[in-house]
Homo-oligomer: A and B are copies of this chain.
Amino acid sequence: MNRKILLQEQDIPRQWYNIAADLPTPLLPPLTPDGKPVTPDMLAPVFPMNIIEQEASTQRWIDIPEEILDILYRWRPSPLRRAVYLERYLQTPAKIYYKDESVSPPGSHKPNTAVPQAWYNKQYGIKKLTTETGAGQWGSALAFACQLVGLECKVYMVRISFDQKPFRKLMMQVWGGNCVASPSNETNAGRKILAEHPDTPGSLGIAISEAIEAAVTDPSGKTRYSLGSVLNHVLLHQSIIGLEAKAQLKSVGEKLPDVVVGCAGGGSNFAGIAMPFTLDKINGAKIDIIPIEPTACPKMTRGKFAYDYGDIACMTPLMAMHTLGHAFVPAPIHAGGLRYHGMAPLVCQCIVEGLHTPQSIDQMECYEAAMTWAKTEGFICAPETSHAIAGVIRQAKQAKEEGKEKVILFSYSGHGLMDLMGYDAYLSGKLKPYYLPEEEIIKSEECLAGHPQAQERKSGKW
């Protein structure tokens, strides 16, 4: 029995895997509001050119610089674990493996991309990164990365989270990050909102606007912006999760998994575990690859595949993705990292191709799964991660019914020690199921119809 499958430092993957090289149909390009493809120079004020090159790359394997590996070695390779205690509890013939991304210093998979992004910016001569954060997972990961690489880091944190979740802010401060409540008085976007709504709780949309403005208006030209999910280069960096997992499964004599599961908000964690196995599926392997989203934010299962903006202020390019409309505001479920209206275009293209088959699960089932996890495996998972566990429990039960010894792999994207208020709500009976009402879906279609480029696509092939 192998409960913990370890990979030695010298066996860490030395290249990231880029699914863009292997998609049956090429990825649809990002567009400007007037429908023209976005060119690299348009992105240059926001991202450094070496990151923009990765964003557009269709090269299959991209070398990971040694200096980046030297930083990642603090927690990578991460353990692959066998969830034997959950298996026993479920009396399932399935073998459940999970890639433990909670072991990073910030406690999630996010630093897998924060570190390379900080490093490439530093290489390009950038001195400072800006970003936004909601619950604080991404902000703390970027502050951590900037500390280790030697960049300044400025985080615009949604005001209500800033006030209610002081611990994430403190993590950023320990790592030298400068975290302010958004809207702030430091940007035009922030000042404008504050003048109109002095008591606003803030929103991710406002925080994005402030972070981008702060980057592009710095007169020194030495500040750029950093995003923690959705974009191609982010998913590229996260592929290390699945590449390590593949090597670890092989080391204990497992062939390919039958099922791969991950929770998906913007798609970076799910893609991290999924894409290296999606390549095998493209090459003929039979694997169910399942991104799990909350029923409160069901863009993959009930949204449209359309060109839409990444943010409510329509500052980003239009991207071809599954979306509930950029104006959609998800219910305040505790899995803050899954509250996003869109999905990474690379994941969406895989869904269109039939390579990924999304499912949505309600938060009550997810917290039940998290409690089962805590009393069997013993660890307290993040609310986002509980969605993956709920999906895995469904699969393990199905394997039991079918009497099949399936191999199930999932990404344990983070621990829940900074998110215990959600458990409190669940344990005290305050949590309720939440299924997005049909009228909200209709509203999202109207939102999309209002934008000439934001039209539904029936397939990825046009």
Interface residues of A (CB under 8 A from B): 1-4, 6, 8-9, 73-75, 85, 103, 105, 107, 144, 147-148, 166-167, 170-171, 173-176, 371, 374-375, 377-380, 417-418, 420-421, 423-424, 427
Nearest chain B residue, comparing its CB with the CB of A111: B378
Partner pick for A380 among B3, B8, B174, CB 8 A cutoff = B174
Partner pick for A107 among B2, B73, B144, B417, CB 8 A cutoff = B417
A167 and B420 contact, CB distance less than 8 A: yes
A420 and B3 contact, CB distance less than 8 A: no
Partner pick for A147 among B74, B105, B171, B375, CB 8 A cutoff = B375
B417 and A148 contact, CB distance less than 8 A: no
The distance in angstroms between the C-alpha atoms of A2 and B4, with both chains bound, is 19
The distance in angstroms between the C-alpha atoms of A148 and B417, with both chains bound, is 19
The distance in angstroms between the C-alpha atoms of A170 and B4, with both chains bound, is 28
The distance in angstroms between the C-alpha atoms of A304 and B380, with both chains bound, is 42
A176 and B6 contact, CB distance less than 8 A: no
B379 and A427 contact, CB distance less than 8 A: no
B174 and A374 contact, CB distance less than 8 A: yes
A174 and B418 contact, CB distance less than 8 A: no
Nearest chain B residue, comparing its CB with the CB of A84: B73
Nearest chain B residue, comparing its CB with the CB of A416: B174
Partner pick for A3 among B73, B418, B421, B423, CB 8 A cutoff = B73
5 A-B contact pairs sorted by A residue (CB < 8 Å): A4-B9, A6-B8, A74-B85, A173-B427, A174-B380
The distance in angstroms between the C-alpha atoms of A37 and B125, with both chains bound, is 72
* CB-defined contacts of A103 to chain B, threshold 8 Å: 103
A175 and B374 contact, CB distance less than 8 A: yes
A105 and B418 contact, CB distance less than 8 A: no
The distance in angstroms between the C-alpha atoms of A144 and B417, with both chains bound, is 14
* CB-defined contacts of A8 to chain B, threshold 8 Å: 6
CB distance from A334 to the nearest CB of B (A): 13
B176 and A420 contact, CB distance less than 8 A: no
Contact A378 to B148, CB < 8 A, known contacts A103-B103, A417-B418: yes
* CB-defined contacts of A148 to chain B, threshold 8 Å: 375, 378
The distance in angstroms between the C-alpha atoms of A55 and B4, with both chains bound, is 33
Contact A171 to B380, CB < 8 A, known contacts A3-B9, A103-B103: yes
Q: Which of A148, A175, A380, A424 has the most CB of B within 10 A?
A: A380
A74 and B174 contact, CB distance less than 8 A: no
The distance in angstroms between the C-alpha atoms of A417 and B415, with both chains bound, is 11
* CB-defined contacts of A175 to chain B, threshold 8 Å: 374-375
* CB-defined contacts of A174 to chain B, threshold 8 Å: 371, 374, 380, 420, 423, 427
CB distance from A150 to the nearest CB of B (A): 10
CB distance from A15 to the nearest CB of B (A): 21
A420 and B170 contact, CB distance less than 8 A: yes
B144 and A378 contact, CB distance less than 8 A: yes
CB distance from A166 to the nearest CB of B (A): 7
* CB-defined contacts of A2 to chain B, threshold 8 Å: 9
B170 and A423 contact, CB distance less than 8 A: yes
A105 and B144 contact, CB distance less than 8 A: no
A-B residue pairs, 9 tightest by C-beta: A170-B420, A105-B378, A74-B378, A105-B379, A6-B6, A167-B420, A174-B374, A417-B417, A174-B423
